[in-house]
Structure 1
Amino acid sequence: MTDRTAGARMNAEIADQPRVLAELTARRAEIADVAAVVARRRPRFVLLAARGSSDHAALYAKYLIEILLNLPAGLASPSTITLYDARPSLDDVLFVTASQSGGSPDLVAATESARRCGALTVAVTNTPGSPLVSAAELSIDIGAGEEQAVAATKTYTATLLALYLLVDAVRGGTGEYALPLGELAQSTLDTSADVVREAAARYRFAERMVTTGRGYSLATASEAALKLAETSYLSARAYSGADLLHGPVAAVDEETAVLAVTSAGRGGAAMREVLETVSERGADVLAVGSAAADMPAGLRVDVPRTEEEVAPVLEVLPLQRLAYELALARGADPDRPRGLSKVTKTR
């Protein structure tokens, strides 16, 4: 029998996200102040530094920056600074560091070094008094409140939203696409609950899963793989839909579960060919997102439709719940994943 007291913290923090998102959206003027400084400095390039779930939020921001701002963006490698003492020229570069705790030594060191090398540095964190905030020139408080569960949920979506509001304000936007996200988040959690439990029962004995998406949703596929691995110990690997067809599809067969993130827009549309291919190979496909109903899949989790650029804030919610439910179904406690702690400090 499933122990419903297990994972109580993770479950509560998943449920808290509509409030967190609504409150962060209401504070968008604070983020717009930071964006105004960025816009005045007119960066020619953007570097993003992060670890873990925050790294997936940074991947989302990379797409936002390249598509909405028409600026090149890349994911920084902190070890080039902390282990190899690299000192690149970063004049006219925006360096954004995302960290829920703001305490990882490598991210703090990378931010300090980037600032010395000429970059405009921005810290995006849930801990306003952290070393990271001290290291950066500017900072954004995601305001998610204390997160006690080891698996990041509300801090992840709050980081996504904060990065979106930053990029949107830099381009001169008003955050209009973000305004309904708190309400839509509640609707997403409520309407997906039954099918998520069905999916957990379906994949209870799965040994491996591929998660996949394109465009903005690639970040969601990556975060889903991490959540499934750290809470229920399911071997999950994330691929871009394009990369999946370039080789890894050879390993997909009747024993493979494929979780596809397919929200309405160009990224979701590009996933149809991918899912047709893996379905032909016998894979068990779970489609999640606002375009799920139109995809070839054995099981679908619908998500309310939004502008594609904010879809990742919603589409990850049922996947967090899937990780929670699957962990319970497999006899694990998602609040106590083996070998993990809330804050991981790397150099």
Structure 2
Amino acid sequence: MFHEAAEAAEVVRRQLTANQAVVTALAADLRASHPRGVLTCARGSSDHAALFGKYLIETRLGVLTTSAAPSIASVYGAAADLTGMLAIGISQSGKSPDILAAMRAARQGGARTAALVNTAESPLAEEVDTFLPLHAGAEISVAATKSYIASLAGLLHLVGEWAGDGELLEALHGAPALLEAAWAADWTPMVDQLEHAQGLYVIGRGLGFGIAQEAALKFKETCGLHAEAFSAAEVRHGPMALVGRDFPLLVFRQGDETADGVDELVADVLARGGDVLVSGGSVPGAIQLPHPAAHPAIEPMLQIQAFYRAVNALSLRRGFDPDRPPLLAKVTETL
């Protein structure tokens, strides 16, 4: 896990160059066809990347984006009219039967299909109209790292070209160097704080919510630590009842329109005597976790890269083997 996560900067650098022509062509087609909506099909870490993509597409393009429930096609055998839609499948292996079924149903329902897949010879890569390779290389660790970051980069690349957003594209092409800096960021305070923790909430909002979901999954997979991800807006409801000295928060905060609300939540939890670890912002009393300054849409990718190194260290500190999570396999073939 450690060595694969460390490769993320080079993966993104390679992907941006190798995929430029196909991304440019797909983006031009999408600008011409004006899809009425986007459907994402994914599971696990890939679905967390899809959630990032939802916020990115809706804020940058104004196109309604929703996550497919794969069982609608794979278990119920139901179909929907998806004429004029774009369906995006995201998968490391491209083999899961339920994702394949959902993408087949989308195509049969009239959608244009595209897939971000790491394994080029996979069934999913072969079935879609447009294949966007992740170019992450072999990923042996059960816990996905570089393939997740590659998925974020692929979505950023497509949306940047589709929207004609030169500022975003410039920031993305500078991301590999920033990923290298993020990998060197010192998140030892998180490892120290959570060494004996029994549980925590992981908080994000907007573009950062999918990153929070990914971090919560990695705590479970590699550290035997129960973590739940919540939007900064949703945690103020019932979940806040658990927050306190023995139930910390890890907060991912990017410098966009959500920043003030996230800062208010951090200050509120601190006022109640809770412990808060936060990447981004500068609320007094919070434990700061550094990441390189960047465009707000790039920040979440840098934060999760810094997190991967820290969670690997936390796994070892808690006596686990991050490369061999119990009861898990690299490829999960759900129906």
TM-score range, shorter chain: over 0.9
Identify which of 243, 247, 252 aligns with 1:252. Answer: 243
Residues 92 and 119 in structure 2, CA contact (< 8 A), matched pair in contact too: yes
In the alignment, the residues of structure 1 paired with residue 273 and residue 241 of structure 2 have an alpha-carbon distance, to the nearest angstrom, of 12
Identical positions, percent = 36
**What is residue 295 of structure 2 aligned with on the other side?**
307
Residues 286 and 297 in structure 1, CA contact (< 8 A), matched pair in contact too: no
Identify which of 276, 287, 310 aligns with 2:278. Answer: 287
**What is residue 314 of structure 2 aligned with on the other side?**
326
**What is residue 124 of structure 1 aligned with on the other side?**
116
- 5+ long unaligned stretches in structure 2: none
Residues 272 and 296 in structure 1, CA contact (< 8 A), matched pair in contact too: no
In the alignment, the residues of structure 1 paired with residue 88 and residue 298 of structure 2 have an alpha-carbon distance, to the nearest angstrom, of 19
Q: Which amino acid in the other structure matches residue 188 of structure 1?
A: A
Q: Deviations over 1:134-188 (max 9, x none)?
A: 2211110010101111110000000000011111111123521201100011111
Identify which of 188, 208, 212 aligns with 2:182. Answer: 188
**What is residue 136 of structure 2 aligned with on the other side?**
144
**Aligned in 2, Cα 1:162/1:255: closer, same or farther, shift over 3 Å?**
same
Matches within 5 A, 1:116-265: 116-174=108-166, 175-190=169-184, 192-193=185-186, 196-265=187-256
Q: Secondary structure at the match of 1:323?
A: helix
Cα offset for 1:346?
0.5
- Superposition TM-score, scaled by structure 1 size: 0.93
In the alignment, the residues of structure 2 paired with residue 142 and residue 336 of structure 1 have an alpha-carbon distance, to the nearest angstrom, of 24
Q: Which amino acid in the other structure matches residue 186 of structure 1?
A: E
**Aligned in 2, Cα 1:297/1:17: closer, same or farther, shift over 3 Å?**
farther
Q: Which shifted more, 35-44 or 309-318? A: 35-44
Residues 223 and 315 in structure 2, CA contact (< 8 A), matched pair in contact too: yes
Q: Secondary structure at the match of 2:308?
A: helix
**What is residue 304 of structure 2 aligned with on the other side?**
316
Q: Which shifted more, 272-281 or 335-344? A: 272-281
Aligned length: 332
In the alignment, the residues of structure 2 paired with residue 297 and residue 215 of structure 1 have an alpha-carbon distance, to the nearest angstrom, of 24
**Is it true that 1:45 corresponds to 2:37 in the alignment?**
yes
**Is it true that 1:64 corresponds to 2:52 in the alignment?**
no
Q: Secondary structure at the match of 1:308?
A: coil
In the alignment, the residues of structure 2 paired with residue 297 and residue 72 of structure 1 have an alpha-carbon distance, to the nearest angstrom, of 38
In the alignment, the residues of structure 2 paired with residue 169 and residue 92 of structure 1 have an alpha-carbon distance, to the nearest angstrom, of 20
Residues 134 and 150 in structure 2, CA contact (< 8 A), matched pair in contact too: yes
Q: Secondary structure at the match of 1:343?
A: coil
Q: Deviations over 1:279-319 (max 9, x none)?
A: 12222110013x3xx12443211211211122221111121
Residues 48 and 75 in structure 1, CA contact (< 8 A), matched pair in contact too: yes
**What is residue 14 of structure 1 aligned with on the other side?**
5
**What is residue 7 of structure 1 aligned with on the other side?**
none
- 5+ long unaligned stretches in structure 1: 1-9
Residues 189 and 289 in structure 2, CA contact (< 8 A), matched pair in contact too: no
Identify which of 23, 27, 30 aligns with 1:35. Answer: 27
Q: Which amino acid in the other structure matches residue 257 of structure 1?
A: P
**What is residue 257 of structure 2 aligned with on the other side?**
266
Residues 266 and 286 in structure 2, CA contact (< 8 A), matched pair in contact too: no
Q: Secondary structure at the match of 1:307?
A: coil
**Aligned in 2, Cα 1:53/1:296: closer, same or farther, shift over 3 Å?**
farther
In the alignment, the residues of structure 2 paired with residue 179 and residue 102 of structure 1 have an alpha-carbon distance, to the nearest angstrom, of 26
In the alignment, the residues of structure 1 paired with residue 73 and residue 36 of structure 2 have an alpha-carbon distance, to the nearest angstrom, of 21
**What is residue 86 of structure 1 aligned with on the other side?**
78
Residues 275 and 297 in structure 1, CA contact (< 8 A), matched pair in contact too: no
Cα offset for 1:93?
0.6
